Amino acid sequence: MISLTVNGRKRNFKGPPFKRLIDVLREDFGLTGTKEGCGEGECGACTVLVDGKPAASCLIPICQMAGRRIETVESLGPPGRLSPLQRSFQEHAGTQCGFCAPGLLMTASRLKETGADAVRVGLSGHLCRCTGYMHIVESVTKATRPRRKR
């Protein structure tokens, strides 16, 4: 059995130890916010935070997550009570088809600097095939967000 913390809640996983983190999140824990894009670590869609740091959940077998703290897009804000960052994505059209948004939001939520250039560098590990990056960068730079704690 593998024990980990997901969005602040202790979870146990009893399935095969080589199941991928993204599949455990989606299939076993019902957290379908996290999306799989390329499956090669090149698009950033599946990004979640592992101990506070962005990581590609399609490239992590669950056996490596024992005792780790995972945060997914569901941790940011439930429907109706979205975080300022999520609201900014809505307001500035940072989301079109929405597939890249959960990963982008997780990385963006950890950015220390929110100037346009720093945001571009900080989000360089994410591909969007709809909006172009202008709206996404704007969504992050214009978000008025309280610093996430920790």
Partner 1 sequence: MRGCPQGMTVLRPQSAGEAVSLFAENPAARPLAGGTDFMVLWNMGEADGQTMLDLSGVREWRSIRKTAAGLSIGALVTHAELRDDPVVRREFPLLAQAASVVGAEQIQNRGTLGGNIANASPAADTLPALAVYEATVKTVSRKGARGLPLLQTFAGVKRTSLEPGELIAAIDIPYLPKKPYRQLFRKVGTRAALAISKTVAAGLVWLERDRTVRELRFALGSMAPTVRRLRAAEDMVRGKRLSRELAAEACELLPRDVSPIDDLRSTAAYRLHVSQNLLSDFLLG
CB 139 within 8 A of CB 92: yes
H-helix or E-strand containing 3? Answer: strand 2-6
Cα Dmax for the chain:
44
- Out of 118, 125, 130, 133, the only residue in the binding site for partner 1 (CB under 8 A) is 125
Cβ 56 to partner 1, closest distance in Å?
5
Instruction: From 41-49, 81-89, 129-137, 142-150, give the range in contact with partner 1 by CB under 8 A.
Output: 41-49
28 or 82, CB closer to partner 1? 28
Instruction: From 3-11, 40-48, 81-89, 139-147, give the range in contact with partner 1 by CB under 8 A.
Output: 40-48
Pairing between β-strand 2-6 and β-strand 9-13 as defined by DSSP bridges: antiparallel
- Out of 5, 11, 28, 39, the only residue in the binding site for partner 1 (CB under 8 A) is 39
70 in helix, strand or coil? strand
- Out of 29, 31, 34, 47, the only residue in the binding site for partner 1 (CB under 8 A) is 47
List, as one string, the DSSP characters of 41-68: SSS-TTEEEETTEEEEGGG-BGGGGTT-
Q: Should residue 20 be labelled a site residue for partner 1 when binding is judged by CB under 8 A?
A: yes
